[in-house]
């Protein structure tokens, strides 16, 4: 693959630095004093999620990172691995639990996620920002307990526990932000 | 603009105009000029012609002009921008710092933001409360102090490129291949130092290493250091000042060295301005400074992008 120049830098460009793939989060052209032009970049490590700052001098070459994302549907769990299917080719891949991390709490079967591949190996899974799930189990709210901000735990079908307001009942459909794990609203009643 | 002009009037400066299309737009290694037919270029700075006026006997001159540089536009860069450049024959670096202090004050008062201005949160160098005091006196530091404090090594100014690269890498800076002395210098400057500059107060950075100041004279007591300062405020580089080099022989040698470097890096090589070199021979000791007017307005109005202070930004023409 041809290498990139600093003038190719744009948001979302994926490059190799120190042996890891990074994506450009932010960039700005700078020219200090009477010196050479630089591009100030903020880069996110696609493997660890860590963000670094890097000032690249104009003309420096960057290696493209061999990464791609694919839309895949989560089928089922098999031991410690999760099985996904490419929604366009129907190829299946097994992704170990540790690659997915905590996100698996909000991954109901059939959900379509973005799987990130680095050198043809799956290295990360991005869930949709919001999911809607049925409450499997929760204590009934007590009548008269109207203090605001009071919550109770509710179990959803993936097994995760979410703090919900007292008026939520078993069987309600609730919307959850998968990035924070927080309850957002009730979208359907039992 | 009127407020700043008023200051120069009170200080008995003569406002001058010099040609926009010139043969020698400046040998600076990293500044490229825009060709303007007949072998001329749009000026990147009015410096050469203004020095010729000083040499011809005008002790205090100022110019408000458009400068043109073949470079990209960004939040604090435009290929076409307004420069305020002035010279004080017999003046000192202290005089120029004082000029800057007053100019920032009159500009800030003119827009009703004194003695603090707000800083947009997206600007580098924004401090926690995003307020910035622009009252005099400005803070002062030197390039050497900054390297010692933030990069952890003593910069002499006569290191070889390899030596400097080693020092930079020990300061955990990533230096790209084929970097020259000046590139390594600025890599460290950007990586380790710039974010500390002018965070609480406008900061004057004095005493630049000789390779970083092609048109400045050496300090009498330190031959590795040139009389140059840069003014930083709230993440903006506002102004650059020189104790002007008046030695035609040394000036020619430095121009030739820069031309060689430009050639080596594949840039256009501009003719050496012989009329300037000739004029330097009878120029009195002089200090000169260039201030980015658009950035001054950004500072005092708290603009987050240079387009906010321009009627028509480069991409709006």
The proportion of chain A whose per-residue pLDDT surpasses 70, expressed as a percent, equals 95
Q: Has residue B102 got a pLDDT over 80?
A: yes
**Residue B296 domain boundaries:** 2-134+251-316
Q: What is the mean pLDDT of chain A?
A: 87
Are A31 and B212 inside 8 Å of each other by CB? no
- Partners of B71 on chain A (C-beta within 8 Å) are 29, 31, 37
Q: Looking at the domain assignment, is residue B57 inside a domain? A: yes
Q: Has residue B29 got a pLDDT over 90?
A: no
- Give the nearest partner residue to B30 out of A35, A40, A55, using CB atoms: A35
pLDDT at B211: 86
pLDDT at A146: 58
Q: Has residue A63 got a pLDDT over 80?
A: yes
**Per residue in A67-106, pLDDT tens?**
888 999 999 998 889 999 998 899 999 999 888 888 888 9
The secondary structure of A100-153 as a DSSP string is: HGGGGGG--TT-EEEEEEETTEEEEEE--SEEEEEEEEEPPPPTT---TT-EEE
Are A37 and B72 inside 8 Å of each other by CB? yes
Are B77 and A29 inside 8 Å of each other by CB? yes
Q: Looking at the domain assignment, is residue B198 inside a domain? A: no
pLDDT at B38: 92
Which domains are delineated in chain A? 4-64 (2.30.30.30), 67-126 (2.40.50.140), 130-188 (2.40.50.140)
State how beta strands B60-68 and B14-15 pair.
parallel
Q: How far apart are CA A97 and CA A111, in angstroms?
A: 16
**Per residue in B229-280, pLDDT tens?**
999 999 899 999 999 999 999 999 999 998 998 898 888 899 999 999 999 9
Q: Looking at the domain assignment, is residue B263 inside a domain? A: yes
Higher pLDDT, B286 or A179: B286
The number of domains in chain B is 1
Q: Has residue A30 got a pLDDT over 60?
A: yes
Mean pLDDT on B82-110: 96
Pick the residue from chain A with its C-alpha nearest to B212: A34
pLDDT at A69: 87
Within chain B, residue ranges assigned H as helices are: 2-10, 47-55, 93-110, 143-146, 161-170, 181-188, 248-264, 274-280, 293-301
Q: Looking at the domain assignment, is residue B267 inside a domain? A: yes
Are A35 and B189 inside 8 Å of each other by CB? yes
Q: Looking at the domain assignment, is residue B303 inside a domain? A: yes
Chain A CB within 8 Å of residue B251 CB: no
Q: Residue written as tokens 């060295």? A: B257
pLDDT at A151: 84
- Provide the CATH number for the domain around residue B75: 3.30.930.10
Neighbours of B4 (CB within 10 A): 21
Chain A CB within 8 Å of residue B190 CB: yes
pLDDT at A147: 56
Higher pLDDT, B294 or A5: B294
Pair of tokens at residue B187: 């890599």
Give the least confident one: A69-73, A147-151, B198-202, B207-211.
A147-151
- Partners of A32 on chain B (C-beta within 8 Å) are 186, 189-190, 194, 237
Test mutation, A18, A31, A56, chain B, max B CBs within 10 A: A31
Question: What number of C-beta contacts closer than 8 Å exist between A and B?
Answer: 63
- Give the nearest partner residue to A33 out of B72, B183, B237, using CB atoms: B237
Pair of tokens at residue A135: 């409450």
Give me the long-range contacts of A162-166 (CB less than 8 A, separation at least 24).
A164/A135, A164/A138, A165/A141, A166/A141, A166/A142
Q: Chain A: which residues have CB within 8 Å of chain B? A: 28-38, 40, 54-57, 60
Q: Looking at the domain assignment, is residue B281 inside a domain? A: yes
Distance from CA of B74 to the nearest CA of A (A): 6
Q: Looking at the domain assignment, is residue B30 inside a domain? A: yes
Q: Looking at the domain assignment, is residue B306 inside a domain? A: yes
State how beta strands A14-17 and A38-45 pair.
unpaired
Are A55 and B191 inside 8 Å of each other by CB? yes
pLDDT at B130: 78
The secondary structure of B170-196 as a DSSP string is: HTT--PPTT--HHHHHHHHIIIIIGGG
Pick the residue from chain A with its C-alpha nearest to B232: A33
DSSP state of B151: I
Q: CA-based Rg of chain A, rounded to a whole angstrom?
A: 22
Test mutation, A30, A54, A63, chain B, max B CBs within 10 A: A30
- Are the C-beta atoms of residues A85 and A76 closer than 8 Å to each other? no
């Amino acid at each position: 693959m041809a290498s990139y120049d600093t003038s190719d830098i744009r948001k979302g460009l994926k490059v190799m630095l120190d042996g890891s793939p990074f994506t450009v989060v932010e960039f700005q052209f700078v020219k200090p004093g009477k010196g050479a032009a630089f591009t100030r970049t903020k880069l996110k490590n696609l493997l660890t999620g860590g963000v670094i700052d890097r000032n690249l001098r104009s003309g420096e070459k960057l290696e493209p990172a061999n990464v791609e994302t694919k839309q895949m549907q989560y089928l089922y769990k098999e031991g410690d691995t999760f099985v996904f299917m490419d929604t366009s080719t129907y190829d299946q891949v097994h992704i170990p639990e540790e690659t997915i991390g905590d996100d698996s709490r909000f991954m109901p079967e059939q959900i379509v996620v973005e799987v990130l591949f680095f050198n043809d190996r799956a290295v990360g899974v991005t869930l949709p920002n919001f999911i809607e799930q049925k409450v499997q189990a929760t204590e009934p709210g007590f009548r008269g307990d109207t203090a605001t901000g009071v919550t109770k735990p509710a179990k959803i079908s993936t097994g995760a526990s979410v703090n919900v307001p007292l008026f939520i009942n078993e069987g309600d459909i609730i919307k959850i932000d998968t990035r924070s794990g927080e309850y957002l609203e009730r979208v359907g009643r039992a | 603009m009127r407020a700043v002009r008023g200051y120069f009037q009170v200080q008995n400066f003569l406002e001058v105009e010099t040609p926009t299309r010139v043969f020698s737009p400046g040998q600076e290694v990293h500044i490229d000029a825009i060709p303007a037919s007949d072998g001329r270029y749009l000026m990147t700075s009015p410096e050469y012609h203004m020095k010729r006026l000083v040499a011809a006997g005008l002790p205090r001159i100022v110019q408000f002009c458009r400068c043109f540089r073949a470079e990209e536009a960004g939040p604090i860069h435009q290929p076409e921008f307004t420069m305020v450049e002035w010279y004080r024959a017999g003046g000192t670096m202290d005089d120029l710092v004082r000029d800057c202090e007053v100019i920032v004050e009159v500009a800030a008062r003119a827009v009703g933001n004194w003695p603090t201005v707000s800083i947009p949160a997206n600007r580098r160098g924004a401090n926690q409360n995003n307020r910035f005091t622009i009252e005099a006196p400005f803070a002062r530091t030197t390039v050497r102090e900054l390297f010692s404090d933030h990069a952890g090594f003593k910069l002499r100014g006569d290191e070889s490129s390899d030596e400097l690269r080693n020092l930079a890498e020990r300061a955990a800076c990533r230096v790209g291949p084929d970097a020259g002395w000046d590139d390594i210098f600025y890599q460290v400057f950007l990586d380790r130092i710039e974010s500390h500059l002018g965070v609480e107060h406008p900061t004057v950075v004095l005493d630049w290493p000789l390779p970083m100041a092609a048109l400045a004279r050496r300090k009498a007591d330190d031959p590795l250091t040139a009389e140059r300062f840069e003014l930083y405020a709230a993440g903006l580089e506002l102004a650059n000042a020189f104790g002007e080099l008046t030695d035609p022989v040394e000036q020619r040698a430095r121009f030739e060295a820069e031309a060689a470097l430009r050639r080596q890096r594949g840039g256009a090589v501009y003719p050496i301005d012989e009329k300037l070199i000739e004029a330097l021979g009878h120029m009195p000791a002089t200090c000169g400074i260039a201030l980015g007017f658009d950035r001054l307005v950004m500072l005092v109005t708290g603009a987050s992008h240079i387009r906010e202070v321009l009627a028509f930004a480069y991409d709006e023409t």
